[in-house]
Amino acid sequence: MHQLIIDLWRKHTPAVLLVTHDVDEAILLADRVIVLADGKLADDIRVDLPRQRDSGQAGFQAIRSRLLGLLGVKTQAADTATQEPTHDVTLSALRRFANAR
């Protein structure tokens, strides 16, 4: 699905609004990520990473950590660049997420 969206975007260059709850998907596909909280704009983050994007690319994890922080997910810095970050999801963050639906 991701590749289809990218291919259509390259061929037709439309403006695209994609709604997702997947932080990685948002970073991989978007030029901007808008975060909503309580029905209001919480943040507007530019994704200034060159394409073809992947999670190992410089800057990807910083944007990911910022977005997860806005969503109430705490991340811990990895000991090495090859480690995936660990996540500590708080009960209050889960409740906020569940009540937002």
Per domain, the residue ranges of the chain are 2-100
pLDDT tens digits for range 9-26: 789 988 888 899 999 999
Burial class (CB in 10 A: 0-12, 13-18, 19+), 42: exposed
The alpha carbon of 15 is separated from its chain's Cα centroid by a whole number of angstroms, namely 19
52-71 pLDDT tens trace: 899 999 999 999 999 999 99
